[in-house]
Structure 1
Amino acid sequence: ILLGLTELDGGFNIAADLDADGDIDADDQAILAALLNPACNDADLAEPFGALDIADVVEFLRAFGAGDEAADLAAPLGAFDIADVVEFLRLFGAGCP
């Protein structure tokens, strides 16, 4: 019911603007989903959180290719290299508790 509202709208609720960008949008929904369904480890990059599946692999590959910090899992931090891939595979293989 709040989705799509901005600070200029009468029904705007600042508490629902989780990223504090002045509107209630899909970014706020993603933050709420992450808060309610936390990832089980750093390889759990995509919904459904709490379970490791092919969506996590696809998201890691996307993040790695884009230089997104979500894929920067191993030292040296700030560099995207084979160490990040190996760490992702280790975490993925460990599974969720």
Structure 2
Amino acid sequence: MEFSELDSRFHRTLNAATGNRFMDGFQDSISLIFHFHYRWSNKNQVERIILAIREHLEIIDAILDRDQVGALQALERHLGTANQTFVASIQRD
């Protein structure tokens, strides 16, 4: 539960930085889909959380270093991981 709240805050902060009001509203939809509609399997939950935290820290580090390329690469990795998790969640029996 604590990770879910921190994860949501992290993504809301990134979305708010875009200055795009659509992204703020979109975050609500993303949270609904990812955290409520698709009930994640508890299998590998700790590993998924650890990976997400590492990816979040990579993004934060790149932003603080003003490394735009590194930040974009870290964001793309994080989106790839999220996509893999999402696909795995809808393919399970």
Higher relative contact order at CA 8 Å, sep ≥6: structure 1 or structure 2?
A: 2
| Structure showing greater Rg | 1
TM-score (ref. length: structure 1): 0.28
TM-score (norm 2): 0.29
**Higher share of residues assigned helix:** 2
